[in-house]
């Protein structure tokens, strides 16, 4: 059943008006008609709704039936050092499918890409659109938020907001003895913590100075195995591991 995220709420009669791109998609792309049912997601809840009128706007009625939430039982934010090319788009899309709560790009010491503030708003809008489409496709009830890129100093200031903070450090993969990420996640699970921040570097990884600053601020390393992963692969690996532990 087709799923649409809306900002509006159902009125007292259980009706809701869908406009804009969603209305166009329902009427022109999907060619739906009155009597067809769709899933309307509003305020974190998915409602099975019946179309009662299609014109410039689409009017739907709440049937009273809901769809169970597939959201992770723990909030997982992903902080990525700005990578090259369209890697951030890939991370945004796939991480949304895997349950990410928010994406926080940051300017890392080894980031080759420099964020263009003039074009930044459009880039963020595009990333947000990608996450919404991915959230619809994966039947989520929440669209991950894409934040404007921040500095490394601002990233450090965010750490106290989370119950657990992990950094992916490729130097850890080179060690003969590594603390398994699964063991650390089990401690998080057993402690019933509510939020995790996972930090990943750009191509070339996190610098030694950045790693030291993060550890001093309260973060700890996570071992993603003995192989060195690409900047766009590591976040997906970590999310998969978290999903396995918690779901």
Q: What letter would DSSP give residue 142?
A: S
Looking at residue 178, its pLDDT comes to: 66
Task: Output the CA–CA distances (angstroms, integers) from residue 140 to 15, 39, 96, 177, 187, in the order listed.
Answer: 22, 11, 9, 38, 27
- For residue 104, count other CB atoms closer than 10 A to its CB: 19
Phi and psi torsions of 227, nearest 5°: -100, 145
Task: Using DSSP, state whether 169 is helix, strand or coil.
Answer: coil
d(CA 123, CA 92): 12
The per-residue pLDDT for 81 is 94
How far from 207 is each of 22, 107, 152, 173, 216, CA to CA, in Å?
A: 44, 12, 11, 15, 14
In order along its 247 residues, the chain shows pLDDT tens digits of 899 999 989 999 999 999 999 999 999 999 999 999 999 999 899 999 999 999 889 999 999 999 999 999 999 999 999 999 899 999 999 999 999 999 999 999 989 887 777 777 888 999 999 999 999 999 999 999 999 999 999 999 999 999 999 999 877 656 666 678 888 899 898 988 899 999 999 998 899 999 999 999 999 998 888 888 899 999 999 999 999 999 9
Contacts of 247 (CB under 8 A, 6+ apart): 72, 73, 99
Distance from the first to the final alpha carbon of the chain: 24
- Return the closest-CA partner of residue 103 out of 123, 118, 85: 123
Identify the three-state secondary structure at position 218. coil
Spatial distance between the Cα atoms of 210 and 201, rounded to a whole number of angstroms? 10
Domains of the chain in start order, with CATH, are 3-67 (2.40.240.20), 75-246 (3.40.1280.10)
Neighbours of 127 (CB within 10 A): 20
What is the token pair recorded at 44? 């974190």
The predicted pLDDT at position 245 comes to: 92
- In degrees, rounded to 5, the angle at the alpha carbon of residue 129 between the alpha carbons of residues 125 and 132 is 140
Residue 176 pLDDT: 60
pLDDT at 174: 63
Q: pLDDT value at position 179?
A: 72
Query: According to the model, what pLDDT value does residue 241 have?
Result: 94
Q: Rounded distance, CA 69 to CA 53, Å?
A: 27
195 vs 72, 111, 119, 152, 165, CA distance in Å? 11, 26, 31, 20, 9
Q: Is 204 left (phi over 0), alpha (psi -120 to 50) or beta?
A: left
Q: Are strands 45-54 and 102-107 parallel, antiparallel or unpaired?
A: unpaired
């Amino acid at each position: 059943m087709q799923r649409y995220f809306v900002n509006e709420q159902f009125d007292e009669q259980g009706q809701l008006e869908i406009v804009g791109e969603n209305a166009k998609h329902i009427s022109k792309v999907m060619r739906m008609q009155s009597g067809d049912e769709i899933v309307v997601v509003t305020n974190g809840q998915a409602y099975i709704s019946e179309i009662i009128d299609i014109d410039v706007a689409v009017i739907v009625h709440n049937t009273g039936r809901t769809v169970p939430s597939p959201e992770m039982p723990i909030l997982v934010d992903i902080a990525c050092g700005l990578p090259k090319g369209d890697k951030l788009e890939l991370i945004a899309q796939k991480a949304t499918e895997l349950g990410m709560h928010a994406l926080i790009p940051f300017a890392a010491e080894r980031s080759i890409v420099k964020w263009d503030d003039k074009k930044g708003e459009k880039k963020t809008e595009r990333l947000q659109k990608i996450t919404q489409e991915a959230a619809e496709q994966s039947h989520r009830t929440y669209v991950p938020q894409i934040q404007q890129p921040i500095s490394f100093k601002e990233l450090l200031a965010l750490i106290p907001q989370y119950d657990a903070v992990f950094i992916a450090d490729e130097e850890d993969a080179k060690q003969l003895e590594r603390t398994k990420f699964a063991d650390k996640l089990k401690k998080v699970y057993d402690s019933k913590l509510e939020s995790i921040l996972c930090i990943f570097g750009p191509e070339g990884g996190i610098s030694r100075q950045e790693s030291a600053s993060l550890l001093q601020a309260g973060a700890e390393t996570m071992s993603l195995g003995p192989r060195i992963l690409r900047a766009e692969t590591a976040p997906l690996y970590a999310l998969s591991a978290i999903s396995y532990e918690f779901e």
